[in-house]
Amino acid sequence: MRILIVEDEQDLAIALARGLRRQGYAVDIASTGEEGWEKGEVHDYDLVILDLNLPEMDGLEVCRRLRASKPDLLILILTARSRLEDKVTGLDLGAVFGSTSIRYGAN
């Protein structure tokens, strides 16, 4: 399984990638929305783990664009945003939401 993590917080992205790689997954990281969208368009990922608060392009726009070109792509949104409108928009775009209570930095 190939996974793309789109997250601008480098420590969190590295921790997620490390944990997933230990489980045997192939993982790529993008640190901006634009980079995430470009990688998502070029490569065939099974899953995109997507933050919403991204530089260059908002995560909801990344989700919208990926969903338009790859309607079967699984997108998991991990975000600190708590606005109901953001969650409804993400769900309307076909994404699922996960918890942001992830501890990172621990080995």
CATH of residue 48: 3.40.50.2300
Tell me which H or E stretch contains 77.
strand 74-77
Farthest-apart Cα atoms in the chain, separation: 38
Residue 63: which domain range? 2-97
User: Which residue did the predictor score with more confidence, 107 or 56?
Assistant: 56
Q: What is the mean pLDDT of residues 85-107?
A: 54
Backbone angles phi, psi at 26, to 5 degrees: -85, 125
Tell me which H or E stretch contains 30.
strand 26-30
Q: What count of residues does the chain have? A: 107
102 found inside a domain: no
Q: Given this model, what pLDDT does residue 100 score?
A: 46
28 found inside a domain: yes
Query: Token digits for 67?
Result: 């969903």
For the chain, the average pLDDT equals 83
105 found inside a domain: no
